[in-house]
């Protein structure tokens, strides 16, 4: 896993993350990520085959809420904080280049 | 099979269906805003629904229970499960990820039996949250392409969904229609969803491919926007032919997502596999695993109502029609079967009741079962003809019930019993000697003239079936 | 300066006016805040009004609660209804949440007075508060140095006497490291001890809110107030927690204190020397020192810097310019996303989003994120074993005392190493706290970290209180 990351991969990751990075930023990020991943190769030495992944520190299960309506937010207050709103809705530029 | 679908050559259709249903909860999957269709935009919102910074999801217990009902009704195993984040950007997806179940869904490995008994495998039925709704404004009339801007309503965001994924076991467009119809009946029976395709509370995507028997499955396309049972069949048939045309022309089918256009009756490329998103699934750290106890599962199982297939079988047993006959399908689909059986319990004839209920009511019968029972009794004893019975049913509906015998009397539908009918039949035979001899010689058409003559003599009060029976009897004695 | 315990006692019995307490703190803010920049927002008017209301409650014979009239500084990543909550990011500048975080509600119910929202590394990503979009916070002990981070604003506010107590959030050391650098007490509780509802998420499975205070008893009191089960947070532990204020005097006689013999190297000699003295103090107070090995400790950094950015990349996807916060207009939504996020996030946040997105993406998940989760389990299990032999562990809280601005240059890894001793407790979910323990180089504060097992806050606080008692000279700026 200590393979060096390429600028092409960094560009793809930036697209996935919806970050419009400049060519300079792509270059710098490529170098920095490479350096980090090299450092992170330390865990390659560990024998982890029989280790179960741990996603949460405290083992809880079956946490529920009852199906009861509670007061929600005030639409005007929420829409006032929106970058653009119209007819009680959030307004965005045309949706293109995205999954329908 | 291909003959049934009219597929050319020996091509065979392979279909798997992914059905999303909105659960009939009071609140959303992870927050306490109302789950309600048709409200003013952005009125059913809270920090979780809007994906506000700092908001955290908490699982709705009732949504889990409804999902378990669906799983059990589809013969699934219920297992320990987890929630994942499916990461992608879309304006009606508030958090930048959808909370869904990934490699550990709640319900797995079930099946749905079509009315003819064919089992369609159900791979999984998992919980996930719905997105908001976008409206596209300006440009070409509400279409996404060419619009000037879009408006987002988050009322639907966070509404609980169960996605039911079938195995690719469906082989004809008709089976696909039957699967969706049967599934809808099950969802309604277990009261998990109102399953309205037109309101989007039940949404069907079809994975369609074609192949020749004995060869591997072909490349599949996912068809979206199939919004009615009727269009399911049309979309699948169109898509199958499109793929066959490609293959027979020596081209290849490209794995892609296609959009069904109801207006032009075709599917259109939505996106190809190459630019499919990388969803970066990982366990949702804000939620904990779900493992319904055996007690809970048993309680849900015990509380399940009788499912449509069992109800059709019960109706078939009682009435003598086939379980997959149109009458049984329709009446059970409308939830009228219980009423038909009540007519029987009230001493009536269930077979006649089935016919009347199917024809007279689109939904719940509005006449006391005992009243209809009385009518069917008059009918089977020959005291009312089928036509007269229909008239009486109409009168019963108009009055919200009543005594069928009195209505019949008031209409002048006097009983024409076999002993009075006999002389009239003899009279008609005597007056129509030519028709009689033709009838005796086996000319079926001659029967009509004789029956008509009896009817005329009886001033319409004779039961056509009884007359036929008497004519047959006279002929065999001749 | 009176501690929170004394302030609350005075306000509750009427001998002290909450209004006067607030004025004293506002006066200190007026004097030094321009130099320190601990706050993104000083809430003078709200604090005065609130103090007046609390005094009125006392006058009416009501009890405002255990934090009556105590001025508190809130890290600016906790939602306050109608009050800007920025996470020190341009992308949230000016955003006013329409709801309160659970801790904010609990503080109000306990009579606390929120005096301001404090600066942080943007979205809590950093160890120096240099990554704030609104400029760095300075260390009250030496304004040429950083206060640590990411809760640098709260730590500095408490150290400078701007607030009696403060709240921070700790994802990899963001409470304990600035506490050490500013000479205050900082606590990261057991994961699930304090509700995260309304805490703007950085890395959900690691984040915990905790106290920053001038003394251990105030920290115990504050944690007693904000701790406990919250039905709005599915990861909140559904248990009642024993009062920590009540255990402080119990001492450490018979307590087993673990010394990690294979601790990662890199701590400065002054810090190591103080840590050694801490062991001596506890031994003298009746504790037994036991040697413990935690071989996976050293791999915490890698696991953390894969897991935390992965979760962050997802948590920060919601800043898309649609519903709140910054939007850079563009001809289509996709372009709007890219430009908004590029303009709204600072370099460190972008770097972590990139790292996390990469670690989760197809083809790399198993090698990075998946493997990091296994290392996390390894670390957790090793600590669980350690706590079978020791009640608490002592380590340095930070490898060094406060360092000068720009000292870590443009090398992200150098900055990440600041968290090397604090990170494992976030991965394992165990509690940890930093206690001021004298000074090191340049007379700057040194913090000793006390670690304990799951929900073993009582033992941790007892050890911390014992260390505190041994420190005769309190470090004051």
The pLDDT score that the predictor gives to residue B411 is 84
The pLDDT score that the predictor gives to residue A2 is 44
Closest residue of chain C to A15, computed from CA coordinates:
C338
The pLDDT score that the predictor gives to residue C295 is 97
**Using 50, 70 and 90 to split pLDDT, how confident is the model at C476?**
very low
C108 CB burial (10 A radius; 0-12, 13-18, 19+): middle
Catalytic residues of C, by residue number, are 75, 150, 174
Overall average pLDDT of the C434-454 stretch: 97
Beta bridge partners of B258: B223, B269
Determine which of B35, B59, B81, B151 to mutate to test the interface with A (most A C-beta atoms within 10 Å): B151
Across chain C, mean pLDDT equals 96
The pLDDT score that the predictor gives to residue C320 is 97
User: C311 and B285 in contact by Cβ < 8 A?
Assistant: yes
pLDDT tens, A34-81?
999 999 999 999 999 999 999 999 999 999 999 999 999 999 999 999
C74 Cα to chain A: minimum distance (Å)? 22
If you average pLDDT over each of B269-283, B436-450, C299-313, which comes out highest? C299-313
Please check whether residue B193 is in contact with residue B179, taking contact to mean a CB–CB distance below 8 angstroms: no
Angle subtended by helix axes C300-315 and C347-360, to nearest 10: 100
Which of these ranges, B224-233, B300-309, C331-340, C383-392, has the smallest mean pLDDT?
B224-233
User: C320 and B96 in contact by Cβ < 8 A?
Assistant: yes
The pLDDT score that the predictor gives to residue A1 is 43
Overall average pLDDT of the C415-443 stretch: 97
User: A81 and C372 in contact by Cβ < 8 A?
Assistant: no
pLDDT tens, C145-167?
999 999 999 999 999 999 999 99
Q: What percent of chain B has pLDDT over 90?
A: 75
Helices of type H across B303-349 = 308-319, 326-333, 337-345
From the list C334, C360, C362, which residue is nearest B282 (CB)? C360
From the list C87, C95, C337, which residue is nearest B89 (CB)? C337
Overall average pLDDT of the B363-381 stretch: 93
Residue B270 has pLDDT above 60, yes or no: yes
pLDDT tens, B61-85?
999 999 999 999 999 999 999 999 9
* Half-sphere CA count of C168, side-chain side, radius 13 A: 43
From the list B54, B87, B282, which residue is nearest C200 (CB)? B54
pLDDT tens, C189-247?
999 999 999 999 999 999 999 999 999 999 999 999 999 999 999 999 999 999 999 99
Please check whether residue B375 is in contact with residue B384, taking contact to mean a CB–CB distance below 8 angstroms: yes
Q: Is C101 on the interface with B (CB under 8 A)?
A: yes
Residue C128 has pLDDT above 80, yes or no: yes
Q: Is C103 on the interface with B (CB under 8 A)?
A: no
pLDDT tens, C354-363?
999 999 998 8
Sign of the dihedral defined by the CA atoms of residues B115, B121, B127, B131, in that order: negative
**Using 50, 70 and 90 to split pLDDT, how confident is the model at B140?**
low
The values of phi and psi at residue C206, to 5°, are: -120, -25
Question: What whole-number distance in Å separates Cα of residue C382 and Cα of residue C386?
Answer: 6
Please check whether residue C190 is in contact with residue C183, taking contact to mean a CB–CB distance below 8 angstroms: no
User: C296 and A46 in contact by Cβ < 8 A?
Assistant: yes
CA dist B337 to B188, B312, B328, B378, Å? Answer: 15, 8, 8, 21
Across chain B, mean pLDDT equals 92
Beta bridge partners of C169: C209
**Using 50, 70 and 90 to split pLDDT, how confident is the model at B476?**
confident
The pLDDT score that the predictor gives to residue A100 is 37
Q: Is B54 on the interface with C (CB under 8 A)?
A: yes
Please check whether residue B366 is in contact with residue B399, taking contact to mean a CB–CB distance below 8 angstroms: no
Q: What percent of chain C has pLDDT over 70?
A: 99
Overall average pLDDT of the C114-140 stretch: 98
**Using 50, 70 and 90 to split pLDDT, how confident is the model at C348?**
very high
Question: What whole-number distance in Å separates Cα of residue B16 and Cα of residue B220?
Answer: 10
* C378 contact residues in A (CB cutoff 8 A): 46, 48, 51
Which of these ranges, B122-126, B214-218, C227-231, has the smallest mean pLDDT?
B214-218
Q: What percent of chain B has pLDDT over 70?
A: 95
The pLDDT score that the predictor gives to residue C474 is 44
Overall average pLDDT of the C450-464 stretch: 98
């Amino acid at each position: 896993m200590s393979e060096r990351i390429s600028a092409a991969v960094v560009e793809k990751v930036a697209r996935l993350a919806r970050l419009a990075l400049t060519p300079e930023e792509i270059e710098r990020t490529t170098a920095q990520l490479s350096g980090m991943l090299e450092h992170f190769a330390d865990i390659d030495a560990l024998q982890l085959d029989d280790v179960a992944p741990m996603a949460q520190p405290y083992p809880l299960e079956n946490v529920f809420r009852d199906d009861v309506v509670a007061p929600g937010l005030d639409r005007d207050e929420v829409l006032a904080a929106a970058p653009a709103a119209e007819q009680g809705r959030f307004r965005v530029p045309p949706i293109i280049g995205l999954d329908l | 099979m291909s003959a049934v679908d009219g597929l050319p050559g020996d091509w065979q259709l392979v279909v798997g269906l992914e059905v999303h249903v909105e659960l009939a909860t009071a609140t959303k999957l992870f927050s306490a805003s109302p789950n309600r269709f048709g409200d003013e935009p952005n009125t059913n919102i809270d920090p979780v629904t809007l994906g506000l910074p700092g908001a955290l999801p908490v699982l709705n217990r009732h949504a889990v229970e409804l999902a378990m009902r669906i799983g059990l009704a589809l013969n699934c195993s219920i297992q320990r499960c987890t929630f994942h984040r499916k990461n992608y950007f879309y304006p009606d997806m508030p958090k930048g990820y959808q909370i869904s179940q990934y490699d550990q869904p709640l319900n797995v490995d079930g099946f749905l039996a079509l009315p003819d008994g064919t089992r369609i495998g159900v791979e999984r039925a998992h919980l996930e949250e719905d997105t908001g709704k976008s409206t596209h404004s300006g440009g070409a009339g509400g279409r996404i392409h060419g619009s000037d801007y879009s408006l987002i309503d988050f009322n639907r965001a966070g509404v609980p969904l169960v996605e039911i994924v079938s195995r690719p076991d469906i082989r004809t467009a008709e089976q696909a229609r039957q699967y969706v119809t049967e599934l809808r009946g099950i969802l309604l029976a277990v009261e998990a969803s109102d399953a309205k395709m037109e309101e989007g509370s039940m949404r069907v995507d079809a994975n369609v491919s074609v192949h020749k028997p004995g060869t591997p499955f072909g490349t599949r396309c996912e068809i979206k926007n199939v919004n009615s049972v009727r269009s399911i069949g049309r979309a699948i048939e169109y898509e199958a032919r499109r793929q066959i045309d490609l293959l027979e022309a020596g081209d290849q089918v490209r794995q892609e997502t296609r959009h069904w256009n109801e207006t032009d009756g075709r599917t259109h490329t939505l996106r190809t596999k190459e630019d499919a998103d990388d969803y970066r699934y990982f366990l949702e750290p804000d939620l904990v695993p779900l493992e319904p106890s055996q007690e809970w599962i048993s309680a849900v199982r015990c509380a399940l109502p009788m499912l449509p297939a069992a109800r059709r079988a019960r109706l078939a047993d009682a009435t003598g029609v086939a379980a997959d006959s149109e009458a049984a399908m329709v009446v059970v689909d409308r939830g009228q079967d219980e009423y038909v059986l009540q007519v029987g319990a009230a001493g009536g004839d269930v077979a006649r009741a089935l016919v009347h209920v199917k024809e007279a009511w689109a939904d719940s019968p509005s006449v006391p079962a005992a009243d209809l029972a009385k009518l069917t009794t008059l009918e089977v004893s020959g005291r009312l003809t089928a036509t007269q019975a229909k008239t009486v049913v109409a009168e019963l509906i108009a009055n919200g019930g009543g005594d069928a015998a009195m209505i019949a009397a008031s209409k002048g539908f006097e009983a024409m019993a076999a002993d009075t009918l006999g002389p009239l039949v003899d009279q008609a035979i005597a007056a129509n000697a030519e028709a009689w001899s033709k009838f005796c010689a086996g000319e079926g058409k001659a029967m009509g003239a004789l029956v008509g003559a009896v009817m005329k003599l009886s001033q319409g009060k004779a039961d056509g079936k009884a007359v036929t029976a008497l004519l047959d009897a006279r002929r065999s004695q001749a | 300066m009176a501690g929170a315990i004394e302030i609350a006692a005075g306000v509750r019995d009427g001998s002290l006016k909450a209004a006067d307490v607030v004025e004293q703190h506002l006066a200190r803010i007026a004097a030094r805040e321009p130099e320190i920049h601990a706050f993104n927002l000083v809430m003078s008017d709200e604090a005065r009004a609130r103090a007046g209301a609390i005094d009125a409650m006392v006058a009416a014979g009501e009890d405002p609660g255990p934090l009556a009239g105590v001025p508190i500084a809130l890290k600016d990543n906790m939602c306050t209804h109608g009050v800007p909550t920025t996470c020190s990011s341009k992308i949230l500048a000016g955003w006013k949440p329409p709801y309160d975080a659970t801790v904010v509600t609990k503080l109000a119910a306990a009579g606390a007075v929120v005096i301001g929202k404090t600066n942080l590394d943007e979205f809590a990503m950093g160890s120096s508060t240099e990554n704030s979009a609104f400029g760095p916070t300075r260390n009250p002990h030496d304004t040429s140095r950083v206060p640590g981070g990411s809760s640098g604003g709260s730590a500095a506010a408490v150290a400078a006497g701007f607030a009696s107590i403060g709240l921070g959030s700790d994802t990899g050391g963001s409470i304990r490291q600035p506490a050490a650098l500013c000479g205050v007490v900082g606590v990261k509780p057991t994961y699930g001890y304090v509700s995260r509802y309304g805490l703007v998420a950085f890395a959900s499975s690691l984040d915990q809110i905790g106290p920053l205070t001038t003394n251990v008893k105030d920290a115990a009191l504050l944690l007693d107030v904000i701790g406990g089960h919250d039905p709005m947070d599915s990861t909140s532990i559904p248990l009642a927690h024993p009062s920590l204020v009540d255990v402080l005097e119990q001492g450490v006689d018979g307590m087993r204190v673990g010394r990690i013999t294979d601790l990662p190297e890199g701590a400065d000699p002054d810090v190591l020397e103080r840590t050694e003295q801490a062991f001596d103090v506890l031994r003298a107070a009746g504790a037994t020192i036991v040697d413990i090995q935690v071989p996976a400790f050293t791999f915490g950094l890698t696991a953390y810097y894969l897991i935390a950015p992965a979760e962050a990349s997802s948590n920060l996807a919601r800043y898309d310019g649609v519903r709140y916060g910054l939007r850079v207009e563009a001809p289509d939504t996709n372009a709007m996303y890219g430009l908004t996020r590029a303009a709204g996030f600072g370099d460190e946040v972008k770097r972590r989003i990139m790292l996390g997105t990469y670690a989760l993406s197809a083809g790399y998940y198993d090698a990075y994120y998946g493997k990091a989760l296994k290392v996390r389990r390894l670390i957790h299990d090793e600590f669980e074993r350690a706590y079978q032999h020791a009640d608490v562990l002592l380590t340095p809280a930070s490898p060094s005392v406060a360092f000068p601005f720009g000292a870590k240059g443009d090398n992200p890894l150098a900055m990440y190493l600041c968290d090397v001793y604090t990170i494992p407790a976030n991965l394992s979910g165990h509690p940890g706290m930093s206690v001021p323990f004298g000074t090191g180089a340049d007379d700057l504060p040194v913090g000793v970290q006390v670690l304990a097992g799951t929900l073993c806050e009582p033992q941790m606080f007892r050890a911390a209180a014992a260390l505190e008692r041994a420190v005769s000279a309190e470090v004051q700026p």
